[in-house]
Amino acid sequence: MGRPSVGFFTAGPRSREQELAVEWLQERSRVDSVSVRSLEDDQLLLEVGAAEQLPVEILWWHRGEPLTDENALAIVATKLDEFLESGGDLLLTGTAMAAVADLSIESVPPTVVGPDPVIEPTGLLWRSAYDDHPIPAEFESLRLPLCADGEIYSTRYEELLPEQGEILASTVRGNEDYPHEMTAVSWSEDGGTVLGIGTGIVFGDVGPEQIAENRNRVLSAAFSALAGGYDHPSRPMDATELSTMRTERVTDHNRPGYHITPPGNWLNDPNGLIAWDGQYHVFYQYNPGGPFHNAIHWGHVVSDDLVTWRDQPVALTPSPDGPDRDGCWSGCAVKDDGTARIVYTGGRDRDQLPCLATAKSDSLRQWNKYEENPIISEVPRELDITETEHWAAEFRDHCIWQEGDTWYQLIGSGIQGRGGAVLLYTAETLQDWEYEGTFLVEDEPSSDAIWECPELLDLGEKQLLHVSNYEDVVYFVGEVQDGRFQVDHRGVLDHGAFYAPQSMDLGDRSVTIGWLPEARDGNAQWDAGWSGALSLPRELTLGPDGQLRQHVAEEVRQLRTSKLSVPEAVTLDSDSHRFEVGGPQLELQFTLELGDATACELAVLESSDQSERTLIRYTQDGELLVDRTTASHDEQSTTETQRMDVPHTEDGVSIRAFVDRSVIELYVNERECLTSRLYPTDADASGLSFITHEGEASIRSVSAWELRDGF
């Protein structure tokens, strides 16, 4: 392939920054010629005479300060649109990227344009999903410092994502990642491609020689990409593109195999769980811009058996002019006289309010948003709803059911000076709601507590209400009386990494799925290219004693591929036993009998030299712990030990454990649950050992199975 011809585009007289950029371009031996264009007297003039004889394949528009003259922008837009329609490619750097909406390239303009002080090396934080792009291929790291000091003009997306473009990179400053500052974007436009790099491309004195060399390599690789060295991506939104991202672009060995994860990027709360037209649907909070919480959409997976999942197109996208512009947040799905509808929280500026959407078909792939959203236009005036830095009123997340002709809705909130609260609304239709009062308010007043993701479940003689309080999922067992929840007793649904659960009504039962947050830092999540998993479906019931029971849904047995050959029982006296089998994706069932030992433990995800392993330990103090101090050599992952109380019984402690690469889910005596996240650096860490301390203990009724992938 020959070297591309590049035209340097300016609007008006060239600035000193642009003069330096032209000099840089003219010095590149790989560029055949330079066509410099200028906007003068509303005409585009060719300034370098020799260049008009050559076709220009790429136009480069580089600016320091943004172009704000509307007449000039209109003329620039006309000429550049014509160039793109002819099949040319466009590189926009600095504040030139701010003009994408004026150029009809993009409907959502960058949200931040202006000067940025640079006090430490600053540049691109490239997404690992696109590490085959020519730009990161020039480097050994995803972090590409491009300028070191001074002041630069930057252009970036923050709260919003571009509607047509795909984010390629965010921002790095020194040793800190800023994933929400998204500065490199790719667009496919007409017959051409547009690449925008909104920060770090500056000329003159940029700092150390290595910094200047980085800039040179980035620009050269950008021209190479535009000239055909790389197929610029559009945002993966349909099922095939998302599946390709899952299987080919995100390959971290710690990504769970049979738990629901995003195809790439970010996942948090499960939403809209519904059995519909013979299939199980799970929606979830999803950021297509990268593995961090921002610009929330609704992702979607579907299953025929509740354990084998297929990626579906993104279901909900923020509307640039709607009440959900800043995010389509958590909500639920309901069956309304044969029609599937969802109620979700829409966010815009400092407001968060309920919105409604209706399925276009039984596939639940596409949804029509209610034209008069939001369906509740303000929070209850009679309550002093908690205001925070980000929100005028903490008022979000929905649980909806119907009794007779009346709809009921719970919304999570907080009341200033009183604490977390669940609010009750009623309606005759899903479009018209009336506030009825507080359903439940925290009994120990706290001025800053917020209750998220409320849900009410019918457990027969009693009902269970659970809320998420930023740390735990707290449940209350009791009854609804006169529109208020009367609490008999309370507890914690899971003692580990489990949050914002939601349930799916299956007629004779319901299954509950929660979000399993990561336990490694944001840098590690960025490098991995994905973040967040959902729990296995679990069933919640009440035992004869009125206490909560939890067990995994029966369908999970379908994940078993082969039963492992393990001793049915092992008894040890202050010793250890290494099983001959193991694996990164396992189901284990066993009973621990402590005897006179001070503690006994089962090691899982154990490396061959035992330097990495996670210990499930039970002690004479009646504590069950997940000890992660040796779970990983990666300093970016937590080593915190998780624990819960499990009283001794004559029959021992019955444990059902699910191990899935970076997830452990424990069901203990079918009463208590503890979910843990951990990240072995050894991709082959899969061993099993049984250890006792200072006395005799035994493990009996042992069964183990390998489990297959869920996608």
Query: Which residues form the domain of 70?
Result: 6-229
CB of 686 closer than 8 Å to CB of 660: no
Tell me the HSE value of 55 on the side-chain side, using a 13 A CA sphere: 9
pLDDT tier at 3 (50, 70, 90 boundaries)? Answer: low
CATH number at 91 reads: 3.40.50.880
Exposure string for 155-172, b = 16+ CB within 10 A, e = fewer: bbbebbbbebbbbbbbbb
Residue 521: what are its φ and ψ, rounded to 5°?
-75, 170
Q: Please name the residue that has the structure tokens 């907080």.
A: 414
Instruction: Tell me, yes or no, whether 61 and 146 share the same domain.
Output: yes
DSSP letter at 234 equals P
Three-class SS of residue 35?
A: strand
CATH code for the domain of 526: 2.115.10.20
Does any domain span residue 596? yes
Is there a contact between 475 and 538 (Cβ–Cβ < 8 Å)?
Answer: no
Q: 577 and 492 in one domain? A: no
Q: Which range among 58-72, 91-105, 438-452 has the greatest average pLDDT?
A: 91-105
How does pLDDT run across 607-652, given as a tens digit for each residue? 999 999 999 999 999 999 999 999 999 999 999 999 999 999 889 9
State which of 229, 259, 292 marks the end of a domain.
Answer: 229
d(CA 475, CA 419): 16
269 and 218 together in one domain: no
Given a cut of 60, is residue 357 above it in pLDDT? yes
Query: Nearest to residue 541, comparing CAs of 515, 503, 514, 500?
Result: 503
DSSP bridge pairs for 44: 39
pLDDT above 90: percentage of residues in the chain:
84
Residue 545 in domain: no
- Number of domains composing the chain: 3
SS (HEC) of 110-143: CCEEEEEEECCCEEEEECHHHCCCHHHHCCCCCE
Confirm whether 84 is domain-assigned: yes
Asked if residue 550 belongs to a domain, the reply is no
73-99 mean pLDDT: 89
Q: What angle do CA 4, 10, 16 make, to 5 degrees?
A: 105
User: Of 198, 229, 260, which residue constitutes the final position of a domain?
Assistant: 229
Q: 211, 120 in Cβ contact below 8 A?
A: no
Assess if residue 547 is contained within a domain: no
Q: Locate tokens 């309010």: which residue?
A: 353
Q: Please answer whether residues 236 and 480 qualify as being in contact, where contact means their C-beta atoms are separated by less than 8 angstroms.
A: no
- pLDDT, one tens digit per residue, over 47-65 is 433 334 345 788 999 999 9
Q: Which of 173, 196, 229 is a domain's end point?
A: 229
Q: pTM for the whole thing?
A: 0.96
Judge whether 145 and 126 are in contact, CB under 8 Å: no
Average per-residue pLDDT for the chain: 93
Q: Taking 90 as the threshold, does the pLDDT of residue 473 lie above it? A: yes
Is the same domain home to 340 and 443?
yes
Specify the range with the lowest mean pLDDT, choosing from 102-116, 237-251, 433-447, 503-517.
Answer: 433-447
* Mean pLDDT, rounded, for 662-666: 98
Q: Is 320 found in the same domain as 341?
A: yes
- Predicted local confidence at residue 51, as pLDDT: 36
Same domain, 189 and 297: no
* Confidence bin at 1 (pLDDT 50/70/90): very low
Q: Is residue 348, in this structure, part of any structural domain at all?
A: yes
Please report, for the domain that includes residue 581, its CATH number.
Answer: 2.60.120.560
The answer to whether residues 160 and 245 belong to one domain is no
Sheet holding 473-481, edge to edge: 452-458, 463-468, 473-481, 484-492
Confidence at 37, pLDDT banded by 50, 70, 90: low
Asked whether residue 479 falls in the same domain as residue 587, the answer is no
Write out the H or E segment, with its range, that includes residue 440.
Answer: strand 432-441
Q: Distances in Å between the alpha carbon of 414 and those of 60, 394, 425, 451, 471?
A: 51, 6, 16, 6, 15
Is residue 83 assigned to a domain? yes
Residue whose C-alpha is closest to residue 465's, from 399, 396, 383: 399
Rounded Cα distance, 348 and 325, in Å: 5
Q: What is the pLDDT of residue 44?
A: 41
- What's the token pair of residue 577? 């036993």
pLDDT for position 212: 93
> Which pairing describes strands 585-593 and 696-707: parallel, antiparallel, or unpaired?
antiparallel
Segment 272-314, tens digit of pLDDT: 999 999 999 999 999 999 999 999 999 999 999 999 999 999 9
Same domain, yes or no: 420 and 288: yes
Peptide bond connecting 291 to the previous residue in cis, omega within 30 degrees of 0 = no
Domain identity same for 212 and 272: no
Q: CB-based contacts of 286: which residues, under 8 Å, 6+ apart?
A: 262, 265, 266, 267, 296, 297, 298, 299, 314
Residue 256 and residue 188 share a domain: no
**Contacts (Cβ under 8 Å, ≥6 apart) of 98:** 66, 67, 109, 110, 113, 155, 198
- Would the pLDDT of 67 be above 70? yes
Pair (673, 560) in one structural domain: yes
State yes or no: pLDDT of 486 exceeds 60. Answer: yes
Residue 258 inside a domain? The answer is yes
Q: Where are the alpha helices (DSSP H) in 28-183?
A: 70-85, 134-137
Nearest to 224 by CA among 469, 357, 58: 58
Cα 95 to Cα 79, 143, 156, 185, 263: the distances in Å are 18, 21, 9, 13, 32
Residue 39 confidence (pLDDT): 52
Q: Are strands 406-415 and 395-403 parallel, antiparallel or unpaired?
A: antiparallel
Residue 9: what pLDDT? 86
